[in-house]
Structure 1
Amino acid sequence: MKWIELADGVFARRYVELDQTLGLVVGGQRCLVVDTGTDEVHGAEFADAIREITALPWTVVITHAHWDHFLGTRPFLPAPVWAHPRCGATMTADAHEQVASWAGKYADAGKPELAERLRRAELVLPDHEVADRAEVDLGGRTVVLAHLGRGHTDHDVVAHVPDAAVVFAGDLVEQGAPPSIGSDAHPLEWPATLDAVVDLGARTVVPGHGGPVDAGFVRGQRAELAVVAGLLDGVRSGTLTVEDALARSPYPAAATRPALERARVA
């Protein structure tokens, strides 16, 4: 784990597990925490690391409702917790299943401690909503929270720090691995949402997993996802088989096949 200073008072913290990246924005009166990690042990470590940088009270934003981004929230309470309205609903509906699935994976991989940490984590729901856009005043610095469209999920929220030209993009952007096109993703709309990310004009974009990137990287990932969207359309219409589409995908078969199979039966 390590801190990366992206601009004055703007930091990313990298973790080996899941190659995850969390965020911190420090203002004059408070700070903003971008995602809280995989479980309460992870969240507590992140909170302690933040306290080495600033003692200011914190506000939390959850970029989307996948367990590795929100199950570390308890150590940050009491604090306002922002997210898209559908994020809280998805947490309520899916958190138990996500925990069971990933705890099983960790147990099977010989990591029982991580499995148990997941099972013990308490679900903390957001209490502030970002339907489209909200501004969080940190004191002399404003962070814009925005839902720019559907992509990795139907409720992705980015945190834009205009004065530092930094955007925390959650899992709308991934570096070091293909984007995760899960069953709750919207790959046909994802390219347009990345256009909106680029249009913010940030010099630095922080993925939910992987290292910070620039706008050129995001444009490249947008182009790859546009190819995938075209392949999905082809499979859905019957003009391409799944195997033909896999051969044309910019991503490995394991990353693309589930989405193509869903398109085939849609």
Structure 2
Amino acid sequence: MSRVVSPFREVGDRVWVARHDWFDVNVTLVGGERGLLLVDTHGSGAAAREVVADVRALGAGDVVGVVNTHWHFDHTFGNAEVRAAYGEVPITAHEQAAAELAAGAEEIRERYAAGDDPHRDDVLATTVVGPDDLFSSVRVLDLGDRAVELLHPGRGHTAGDLVVNVADAGVLLAGDLVEESGPPSLGRDSWPMEWPLTLDLVLDLVTPGTVVVPGHGAPVDRDFVTLQRDDLGVVAETIRDLASRGIPVTEALGAAEWPFEASLLADAVRRGYEHLPRSQKRLPLV
């Protein structure tokens, strides 16, 4: 019988990352003498069962806690299967992420039920379990011989993003506040006017030698995060400029040059206009 080889690869002392084809999403393990912390659990029960098999193949210990970096289903829908494998381990997340998952899970099911995605049946068969160990600003998790810091640096990709700082290993898990396999996902629940400032706080935790694990794609460095922050800053300031000049939101995408493909920014522009205070908006001249 052939031995199963785990896809987890060590990127720092006892920090392993597995990069999965579906969504190019990263699932990460942080090891300590008390056991393993699993950061994000993938997008369905079936996918999470594979994650559990990969954790066991790694042979580094049992999962004693779960962290969800934000509410989106590709990071949370595996929670129930991890508990089925390891018992009632705490699932830690920002309080807003828990609220958004509770509100948004059914919409995800409806979207998959109406489509023909190859993962449709797996998503529909998934039991959704939300996080139950919630915090608002900072939480430190004790793994025995190391402390793992969870920080909510502000709103960005969602209202409830967190980063996981494994300072002694020189690794920071950024969730979808940073993405490597494509441009940042400025979706219907993003906060484009605040995301650059949120990344400023993330960058305060990152040194030139820090390995930054994005929510999707290959690990990156501080320079990559800085460039992505600057591009997001251009998006925010362009929205602010257009609104201040009275450009209607319906015309904004075609009225400027953007650092990302304009077709990806419809939600960002709409959300940006909504979030700007009235003092920064002008009515178009007629």
Using the size of structure 2 for normalisation, the TM-score is 0.86
Q: Deviations over 1:1-35 (max 9, x none)?
A: 93221012101110111111111101111111000
Match of 2:197 among 192, 198, 220: 192
Match of 1:71 in 2: 77
Could you tell me which runs of 5 or more consecutive residues in structure 2 were left unpaired when the two chains were aligned: 1-5, 276-286
Aligned residues: 260
* Structure 1 CA distance for aligned equivalents of residues 223 and 270 of structure 2: 30
Letter in 1 for 2:99: A
Match of 2:268 in 1: 259
Letter in 2 for 1:204: V
Match of 2:282 in 1: none
* Structure 1 CA distance for aligned equivalents of residues 120 and 63 of structure 2: 31
* Structure 2 CA distance for aligned equivalents of residues 243 and 28 of structure 1: 52
Match of 1:230 in 2: 237
Structure number with greater Rg is 2
Match of 1:142 in 2: 147
Letter in 1 for 2:27: L
TM superposition shift of 1:135: 0.7
Given that 1:67 and 1:99 are in contact with CA atoms closer than 8 Å, whether structure 2 keeps it comes out as no
Relative to structure 1, is the Cα distance of residues 238 and 141 closer, same or farther in structure 2, using a 3 angstrom cutoff?
same
Letter in 2 for 1:174: E
Partner of 2:155, secondary structure, is: coil
TM superposition shift of 1:173: 0.3
* Structure 1 CA distance for aligned equivalents of residues 162 and 57 of structure 2: 27
Match of 2:226 in 1: 219
| Structure-to-structure mapping, 1:98-109, within 5 angstroms | 98-105=108-115, 107=116, 109=117
Match of 2:280 in 1: none
Given that 2:41 and 2:48 are in contact with CA atoms closer than 8 Å, whether structure 1 keeps it comes out as yes
Match of 2:106 among 96, 103, 113: 96
Relative to structure 1, is the Cα distance of residues 233 and 5 closer, same or farther in structure 2, using a 3 angstrom cutoff?
same
Could you tell me which runs of 5 or more consecutive residues in structure 1 were left unpaired when the two chains were aligned: none
2:203 counterpart of 1:205:
no
Report runs of 4+ in structure 1 exceeding 3 Å deviation.
102-105, 238-241, 261-266
TM superposition shift of 1:254: 2.0
* Structure 2 CA distance for aligned equivalents of residues 123 and 251 of structure 1: 33
Partner of 2:173, secondary structure, is: strand
* Structure 2 CA distance for aligned equivalents of residues 177 and 103 of structure 1: 26
* Structure 1 CA distance for aligned equivalents of residues 134 and 270 of structure 2: 34
Match of 1:119 in 2: 124
Partner of 1:69, secondary structure, is: helix
Letter in 2 for 1:64: H
* Structure 1 CA distance for aligned equivalents of residues 155 and 172 of structure 2: 17
Q: Deviations over 1:172-215 (max 9, x none)?
A: 00002111111211111111111111111251111111110001
Q: Deviations over 1:96-154 (max 9, x none)?
A: 0022224434x1x5x2xx10110111110111012111111111011101101111011
Partner of 2:55, secondary structure, is: helix
| Structure-to-structure mapping, 1:15-164, within 5 angstroms | 15-53=20-58, 54-77=60-83, 78-105=88-115, 107=116, 109=117, 111=118, 114-164=119-169
Partner of 1:183, secondary structure, is: coil
TM superposition shift of 1:265: 6.8
Using the size of structure 1 for normalisation, the TM-score is 0.92
* Structure 2 CA distance for aligned equivalents of residues 148 and 117 of structure 1: 33
Relative to structure 1, is the Cα distance of residues 13 and 183 closer, same or farther in structure 2, using a 3 angstrom cutoff?
same
TM superposition shift of 1:217: 0.2
Relative to structure 1, is the Cα distance of residues 59 and 239 closer, same or farther in structure 2, using a 3 angstrom cutoff?
same
